[in-house]
Amino acid sequence: MAASLVKELYNAPNGDSWTLCMDLAGKLVVCHQPNVASGGQPTEIGVDLFLSSGGHGPEYQALREALADLGHGAQVARGGKAGQAAARNAAGLCDSSCHPPT
């Protein structure tokens, strides 16, 4: 995993943690770091897939709030190039592919 941190989402009492990250392709992903007792093997999952699992725990709520804070929650969750550009722009990671020169 070579994703860059966008925002910490939730740290569970059992030691699990979830963060909102951006992968090398510029896509928002949820990074999960399980506790040692669970194996401790970190994973990344796309925001849209994470949300589509229908979870209602605090990590899901924190992700929804983070997307709303970015100002592009629905647009980002849909994915695609427009969603990726919205996410990069909202996270302050925008480059020339977000805003062509004027």
Summarised one tens digit per residue, pLDDT across range 36-75 is: 998 889 999 999 999 998 889 999 999 999 998 887 555 5
* 88 compared with 15, residue with greater pLDDT: 15
State how far the Cα of 48 lies from the Cα of 33, in Å rounded to an integer: 19
**Residue 100 resides in a domain:** no
**Residue 97 resides in a domain:** no
pLDDT digits (tens, 9 = 90+) for 10-47: 999 999 999 999 988 889 999 999 999 988 899 999 99
Specify the DSSP class assigned to residue 38: G
Q: How confident is the model at residue 96 (pLDDT cuts 50, 70, 90)?
A: very low
Domain coverage including residue 37: 4-90
pLDDT attached to residue 91: 44
Q: Which run of H or E residues covers position 85?
A: helix 80-90
pTM: 0.67
Instruction: Quote the distance between the C-alpha of residue 100 and its chain's center.
Output: 25
Q: What is the number of structural domains in the chain?
A: 1
**Residue 102 resides in a domain:** no
**Residue 99 resides in a domain:** no
